[in-house]
A and B are shown apart, each in its own frame.
Chain A
């Protein structure tokens, strides 16, 4: 008995946000698509879980590229175009940053003038500089949005997108240094560094600019029904468009014959025919164990995997507390706490350890989504994004104790900050570690951010080289490890790009045939 058709136009390996965005895009162009997801749910780490009858967010802090309904940014526009209706809730502020060593305690809100005023109120005389920086970020962001859809010649680019061209060879630090900002203001404007997983002196300014313009321009958003809402609604929409989605089906092999993808084989043993595959598994896994035969993997593909460095994974403590945010004195939605200093290169080194971690992100979901818990309770998560390094040598028998010790440290750090002993208020707690990510999502070494954004692996270089990196005809990649990198919005963009790569190949190969 076969549960599959004779052949599909394309198979998407992985039904997380990126894979679903890819499937939606392919299906909207009339392609016959099969999505195979190893977990029993869509969404990958865009998910939630139920404890004691209450739903808890697993991962989402804030979505970028949504923007208000009347002025949609590209991800909201994509969902609208695809007929996926999400209940977006606006996050009230950008972030609160606390750096006691520099006496920084500041809350910033979206809106360039608003945030510049908020910074100027604490550090007078900086308004114009901050505003100019944000305007530069906006200019670069606009260029990226144009150029990612309409590539153009170098002279044309220099004429029309001078700021983008002139800043892309520099790190965020190099560009910010030209603004003559006081150190504290530089540090305040670095707070988001962790959301791209790169220290300021190695983070391409291009990426920094996109992040700052997007978050401070359009604000950030979460889903009313947790990040799982996006996954579930995308999956349902896929099926309405004729996509077949099968859960609990792990793809073990991508079959290549005659220099072209020919299908996949699942762990269950089903061989499924398709000449095009979009793969959400990391290239590290794909090129070292999934392609069959492995001799079909070009040397250049293997070199690309060796050359690229994995970015961060995730350690997060999700809690439901038995008091309201007001009672606990938790005023904001999003906190960045630096317990040492804002030297992001030093923080980066700290992320290679098992803690104590110097930079934590804390989200009080009730502040954006008051209905996310029963009244009188708080949904609080404390997160750090460590590199895999520290977690490579943990033994099975020490795992539970280690994860609790790290979680305990993080809870204690934030208890001191909030002035309330959080341990006394925990109703439900789940600790997510890099191992949890590897278990549920199958992500290579628990990675959630794909490859590091860095001056060695620059977004502009990625775009320039993207064609030559389609090493195996018929194969494209979606997920955080694809061009645009990490974050729930960028992975959706990656999924769309993976679909476009396959659609272009389909058209070209059909024309040649």
Chain B
């Protein structure tokens, strides 16, 4: 065979090597050390941030809005509906909690940037919320990371008409959205249907009323007050149908039991799955009610052997609590963010033993399930376990 003549053809290897070598020899010994795309990635996802509490404000008889400002002056871009993960040390327990950001994205990017969350007191699962509600004061410093989560308006997918179905402290992402729309920063329309038992339970009422406009509608739905002058009852299909447009996207955020109820109502209205976005925060209060849970195990306690590198520790664990919670109680930190089984930050490996993963909180990949990787925040021990977790 011949390409351009025998001699030239057979000299190819020598030629390309000489060419490369001469380019190397004549190149600068001071290469470009900047990585602008990496820098943008780090600005958008800066990792752990130090946040100072700037203000604490009552936004209902039982809820407080906490404003944080960044110590280094920079907060990343986020989208309405995303959450921050707050590091907490309460007694011996080292833990994190996810909180939907209730301030608007533009407020994180203005001259004096801040983010806000709202915490509610007095709920039985509110170990951390109670601590924050009671204990936080201006000047306190926390470590947090943001932004996380997929509970945001995606214009390539969602209808411009958003119906927010909220319960309890699930109102907070909609306050973020409402403010961003009111500020002309988000091109969408929002109708919030907010279910509460009594009007005293309504969080952020004055704040939401203040952003009521052409594009932001806000309706309280009260189930436990006979004389309430507005919408009474629950977030039923009839009520939803009255406020929904012909092609709305439904964003649902509230306590765990609410999701199943609302899903049933939306299904009855023939809302296609692509128009329903559900936020989920938290493990079930009572795992024994999850489908498939072996009820006889509920009162049991087990020992979890925790492998971190070459280190092994043994901690006691209740069958009724997620593996991550047992570790945290024993003072062994484990990386967590969403605490709902979704984000996978607590990705760990089960070396031996048996766990229960509620179907609602099972965010594992197929290969994870097959190979014993699991999400410790949403998995419950059914026997003594040996697990390997990341070193923090």
Contact = CB atoms under 8 A, between A and B. Distances in A.
Contact of A396 (B15, B29, B43): B43
Most central of A2, A423, A435 by chain B CB within 10 Å: A435
A247 B347 contact: yes
B273 A322 contact: yes
Nearest to A430: B150
Given A162-B1, A307-B24, A465-B17, A446 B37 contact: yes
Contacts of A236: 371-372
Nearest to B77: A396
Interface in B150-174: 150, 154-157
Nearest to B38: A438
A505 interface: no
Interface string A302-323: 1111110000010000000010
Contacts of B90: none
B111 interface: no
B38 A51 contact: no
5 contacts: A226-B366, A229-B367, A423-B156, A427-B157, A461-B21
B41 interface: yes
Given A246-B390, A303-B28, A458-B20, A288 B33 contact: yes
B219 to A, nearest CB: 27
A152 interface: no
B12 interface: yes
Contacts of B10: 158, 165-166
A233 B26 CA distance: 44
A163 B1 contact: yes
B390 A168 contact: no
Interface in B1-48: 1-4, 8-13, 15-17, 19-21, 23-33, 35-38, 40-45
Give the size category of A's interface with B: 35 or more
B363 A169 contact: no
Given A40-B347, A166-B3, A435 B20 contact: no
B272 interface: yes
B3 A429 contact: no
A467 interface: no
Interface in B320-350: 335, 342, 344-345, 347
Contact of B366 (A55, A302, A397, A461): A55
Given A165-B10, A244-B309, A287 B367 contact: no
B147 to A, nearest CB: 11
Contact of A322 (B16, B274, B392): B274
A392 B37 contact: yes
Of A40, A244, A313, the most chain B CB neighbours within 10 A belong to A40
B295 interface: no
B150 A388 contact: no
Given A229-B366, A246-B390, A302-B30, A41 B347 contact: yes
A438 B24 contact: no
Contacts of A444: 35, 38
Contacts of B272: 322
B37 A435 contact: yes
A412 to B, nearest CB: 10
B191 interface: no
A309 to B, nearest CB: 10
A411 interface: yes
A167 B28 CA distance: 31
Interface in A256-298: 268, 284-285, 287-289
A435 B41 contact: yes
B109 interface: yes
Given A1-B311, A307-B23, A438-B38, 5 more contacts: A52-B273, A169-B13, A391-B36, A396-B76, A461-B13
B17 A426 contact: no
The 5 nearest A-B residue pairs measured at CB: A169-B12, A3-B309, A307-B27, A458-B16, A461-B20
Nearest to B341: A50
Contact of A456 (B8, B20, B25, B335): B20
A265 to B, nearest CB: 14
A44 to B, nearest CB: 14
Contact of B27 (A3, A247, A303): A303
B293 interface: no
Contacts of B372: 236
A397 B77 contact: yes
A53 B33 CA distance: 41
B40 A438 contact: yes
A446 B38 contact: yes
Contacts of B29: 299, 302-303, 306
B24 A303 contact: yes
A426 B16 contact: no
Contacts of A165: 9-10, 12-13
Contacts of A462: 20
Contacts of A2: 309-311
Nearest to B19: A456
B335 A435 contact: no
A33 to B, nearest CB: 14
Contact of A41 (B16, B17, B344): B344
A418 interface: no
Given A244-B310, A393-B36, A400 B16 contact: no
Interface string B356-367: 000000111111
A168 B1 contact: no
A3 B391 contact: yes
B300 interface: no
Contacts of B347: 40-41, 247
Contact of B365 (A55, A175, A435): A55
Nearest to B313: A1
B16 to A, nearest CB: 4
B274 A426 contact: yes
Contact of A313 (B28, B37, B363): B37
A178 interface: yes
Contacts of A322: 272-274
Contact of B391 (A166, A246, A396): A246
B7 to A, nearest CB: 10
Interface in B274-331: 274, 308-311
B112 interface: no
Interface string A460-479: 11101100000000000000
A421 B10 CA distance: 54
B335 A169 contact: no
Interface string B366-391: 11101111000000000000000011
A274 to B, nearest CB: 15
Given A136-B1, A170-B4, A229-B366, A399 B13 contact: no
B210 to A, nearest CB: 26
Given A4-B310, A5-B310, A284-B35, A232 B373 contact: yes
A458 B44 CA distance: 36
